Amino acid sequence: MGWRIRIDSRGRRVVYHGGSAVGGAADFHVYPDAGLVIVALSNTSAEYVPLEASQALIDSLAELFLAD
């Protein structure tokens, strides 16, 4: 499994992996410094759920759990 690292909209480090197959897509995001894991699953192919949309949803969920 290939992991990627990005910085979210609030400057937090996120380690993630995503992928899809016919009929499904998944994104697995780990916020290691906060001890938070968010997994987004979809029963539609990746071409219908762009990566940017998935990351925006996960960023919003992280805000709920990591609010200062």
pLDDT per residue as tens digits for the range 1-20: 689 998 988 889 999 998 87
Q: Give pLDDT, residue 31.
A: 95
The answer to whether 28 and 36 have CB atoms below 8 angstroms apart is no
C-alpha torsion 14→20→24→29, nearest 10: -10
Mean pLDDT to the nearest integer, 28-57: 82
Beta bridge partners of 11: none
Element (H, E) at 57: helix 51-66
| Number of domains forming the structure of the chain | 1
Share of the chain above pLDDT 70, in %: 87
Cβ atoms within 10 Å, residue 27: 21
Round to whole Å and give the CA distance between 25 and 45: 6
Tell me the per-residue pLDDT of 43-66, one tens digit each, with 9 for 90 and over: 876 566 666 777 788 888 999 998
Question: Which domain covers residue 56, as residue numbers?
Answer: 4-66
Q: Give pLDDT, residue 42.
A: 81
